Amino acid sequence: MHVLQKRLLKCAGTRDLGSMTLREIGELLGEAHPQKIKHHLLQLEQKGLLEVDRPQGIVRKIQPGKTSNDRLMRIPILGSADCGPPTIVAEESIQGYLKVSSKLIARKNGLFALKATGNSMNKASIRGVSIEDGDYIIVDSEQRDPQNAEYVLSVMDGVANVKRFVNDKNNQQIVLISESTQDFPPILIHPEDVEFLICGTVIRVIKKPNLS
């Protein structure tokens, strides 16, 4: 996300941007070109991060889980997860929102989405659905104590991975397994490794649209 968009998003949470002109917002952020402010406000609106009520000139920061339609919820997209080595997951890296019917995914707190890149989990089965390049992975960040054979999003040495979780107590190790048509070696973790963190359990896969 552009640095100016990050600053606009932060200001929208604390200031009434709708009562300010583009020039006033620019002065607040140290940007002398009002058209740049207009451009980046539009970009944030298109990403689903800001809601702009044009007749009233109101700018609102959209909250995760809420939409103007109660049947839809917004799930924040926190970047992309290479089912190999992706970007680290961070709240400030929200890139947009998935609008999902509550009939597809039960409404609850703590959900976020990642876009899969790569095919190292293309033989996984989450409710019978594999994870392929371009799919969205839905992660429950409140489920951080996975059972054996569940799929988790974890971070090790600053790198995030989506893998199948196995707690191999007999050998005192945690094994993160790729399930792929290609041969990827497992990742072996000691349970006391302080750099290892489970960010949540993968609960659903939203397949990329089949337009053919």
Structural domain of 91 = 72-206
The structural domain count of the chain equals: 2
pLDDT of 170 above 60: yes
96 lies in the same domain as 194: yes
CATH code: domain of residue 12: 1.10.10
Per-residue pLDDT of 32-49, as tens digits, reads 888 888 888 877 776 767
- According to DSSP, residue 126 is labeled B
Q: 8 φ, ψ to 5°?
A: -65, -45
So what's the pLDDT on residue 21? 82
Per-residue pLDDT of 91-139, as tens digits, reads 446 677 788 888 888 878 788 888 888 888 999 999 999 999 889 999 9
Q: 85 φ, ψ to 5°?
A: -105, 105
Is residue 212, in this structure, part of any structural domain at all?
no
Compute CA distances 184 → 45, 164, 178, 202, whole Å: 40, 12, 6, 20
83 lies in the same domain as 56: no
Beta-sheet pairing, 111-117 with 72-82: parallel
Last residue of a domain, one of 18, 40, 61: 61
pLDDT of 203 above 80: yes
57 lies in the same domain as 94: no
52 lies in the same domain as 77: no
